[in-house]
Amino acid sequence: MLIRLATPDDAKELSEIYAYYVENFSYSFEYEAPSIEDFSKRIADTLKFFPFFVCEENHEILGFVYAHKYRERKAYQWVCETSIYVKHGLIQKGIGTALYQKLLPALKQQGLMKAFAILSCPNEGSEIFHKKMGFTYFATLPDMGYKFDCWHDIKYFVLYLNAMTDNMNEPIAYFDVNKKQVKTVL
């Protein structure tokens, strides 16, 4: 398996993976899967600050993971939300683990303090997976989304990436991480 950065050219395969979950589960609160063009824009927009990785084998994308802003206000800049999806039928094959093993250290290097996985429930498999990856249960917000004729809770799971201190440096964009490391060495 190869983990690499996504590009907008991956949008067709990624949108197909995601569409399965939108159309069949309440894991995403979207009612309609985004078009290939919309997904391409999501990838490009994410890559402006956060990493967006795909897992690929034999030129086939098996899953993807990315982070995005938790909220828009500046005071939230040290906190992000993660999203991960694996192609239907390939759950529990190590793909999600491999993706998170690439994403989480990248977020830490960016200077982020916390990553939240926000899960629509029921979603026991994702809860177990996130705990395995080091996330801990944080909170439940009842009846937050209505999909498939019923209300769904969301559960927050948190992973602390870096120590929280006063006088925090602002997080840096993923593509600037290596530039910062070079300056530190010089």
d(CA 157, CA 62): 24
**What band does 128 get if pLDDT is binned at 50, 70 and 90?**
very high
Global pTM reads 0.92
- β-strand partners of 22: none
Q: What is the mean pLDDT of residues 86-110?
A: 94
pLDDT in tens, 26-54: 999 999 999 999 999 999 999 999 999 99
d(CA 43, CA 55): 15
Q: Half-sphere exposure of residue 103, counting CA atoms within 13 Å on the CB side? A: 32
